[in-house]
């Protein structure tokens, strides 16, 4: 057994930035989804980012998830990071950092610009004391992420010049950009603003992050990676095959009562999507 520890996303994203690939960050919810992502990623030699929203941590408890991911990190010979996704409260972030989490996102994108900066700076100051990487977000994505709902007409794209100022003043380690993606699934194929992304890449030196990648065509994601995206968030596209296959299994087997058995096909369906996204990001065979 490999006795490695959980890591931050610092080195994995810098390596992706240098070599022009991306690390997929998969949203997990429980033991089964962590097993699927970790086993599939390790089999393909991809670094592992296990991302959890505030709702996931409320559901599973921070100490439970922390312990499961710490065990995961010891099990595999690839880097493993537990990442806080779309956290908005300093106290919740601090609690996870104190437990040993090494990668966090502070989402203050709903606030006015100067307030966004001040809130993020507070998190960065505490996180960097503990060798924790911080992701910030400038611009807002439409759609739903847990209880955070942004109407499409209110979503705002990231301003390239402002992004440079934001990174410099906050000290963040990676930047989530709004270039036309949204949380959840799309009513029609999204149109990503690649020109804007290219400008942001010119202005900003830290690794860039693409949220809302579920349902975005693979060619569009690969183009975004060519233009500087180093981390790609995947959530909804994992939940759908898992739940559909689980529902199908239980309907076809109404007497099934053992989760060790009836989740098997659901986990396999989710694993197929994990592998597809790893290959889309070209993060396989990196370790």
Q: Name the active-site residue from 15, 63, 85, 91.
A: 85
Please indicate if the annotation marks 234 as binding a ligand. Answer: yes
Q: Determine whether the annotation assigns residue 211 to a binding site.
A: yes
128 known ligand binder? no
User: Looking up tokens 């301003």, which residue turns up?
Assistant: 159
Four-point Cα dihedral 118, 122, 125, 130, nearest 10: -150
Q: Which residues contact 94 (CB under 8 A, 6 or more apart)?
A: 126
CA 249, 250, 253: angle at the middle one, nearest 5?
A: 85
**For residue 47, which of 66, 68, 19, 67 has the smallest C-alpha distance?**
19
Does residue 237 have a known ligand-binding role?
A: no
Is 87 annotated to bind a ligand? Reply is: no
Place of tokens 């493993």: 80
Q: CA–CA separation, 27 vs 249, rounded Å?
A: 23
Known binding residue 236? Answer is yes
Query: Any known ligand binding at 233?
Result: yes
CA dist 179 and 206 (Å) reads 17
CB of 91 closer than 8 Å to CB of 138: no
Is 253 labelled as part of a ligand binding site?
no
With CA atoms as reference, report the closest residue to 13 among 106, 177, 133, 123: 133
* 213 annotated ligand binder: yes
183 annotated to a ligand binding site: yes
85 is catalytic: yes
Nearest-angstrom CA–CA distance, 241 and 176: 26
Per the annotation, does 143 bind a ligand? no
Q: In angstroms, what is the C-alpha Rg of the chain?
A: 18
Give the distance from CA 132 to its chain's centroid: 16
Q: Which residues are annotated as a binding site?
A: 86, 107, 137, 183-184, 211-214, 233-236
Q: Which residues are catalytic?
A: 85
Residues belonging to the binding site for dihydroxyacetone phosphate are: 184, 212-214, 233-236
Binding residues for Zn(2+): 86, 107, 137, 183, 211
């Amino acid at each position: 057994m490999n006795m490695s520890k959980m890591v931050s996303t610092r080195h994995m994203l810098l390596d992706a930035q240098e070599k022009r690939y991306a690390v997929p960050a998969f949203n997990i919810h429980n033991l089964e989804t962590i097993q699927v992502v970790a086993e599939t990623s390790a089999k393909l030699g991809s670094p592992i980012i296990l991302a959890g929203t505030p709702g996931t941590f409320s559901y599973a408890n921070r100490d439970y998830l922390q312990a499961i991911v710490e065990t995961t990190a010891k099990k595999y010979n690839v880097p493993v990071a537990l990442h806080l996704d779309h956290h908005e409260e300093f106290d919740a972030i601090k609690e996870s950092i104190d437990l040993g989490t090494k990668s966090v996102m502070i989402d203050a994108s709903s606030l006015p610009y100067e307030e966004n900066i001040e809130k993020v700076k507070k998190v960065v100051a505490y996180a960097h004391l503990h060798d924790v990487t911080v992701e910030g977000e400038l611009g807002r994505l439409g759609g739903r992420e847990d209880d955070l709902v942004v109407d499409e007409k209110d979503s705002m794209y990231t301003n390239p010049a402002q992004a440079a100022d934001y990174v410099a003043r906050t000290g963040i380690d990676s930047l989530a950009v709004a270039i036309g993606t949204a949380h959840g699934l799309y009513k029609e194929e999204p149109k990503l603003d690649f020109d804007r992304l290219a400008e942001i890449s010119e202005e900003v030196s830290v690794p860039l992050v693409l949220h809302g990648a579920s349902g975005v065509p693979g060619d569009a994601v690969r183009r975004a990676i060519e233009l500087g995206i180093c981390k790609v968030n995947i959530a909804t596209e994992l939940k759908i095959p898992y739940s559909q296959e689980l529902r199908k299994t239980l309907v076809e087997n109404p007497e099934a009562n053992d989760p060790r058995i009836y989740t098997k096909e659901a986990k396999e369906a989710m694993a197929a999507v994990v592998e597809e996204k790893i290959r889309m990001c070209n993060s396989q065979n990196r370790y």
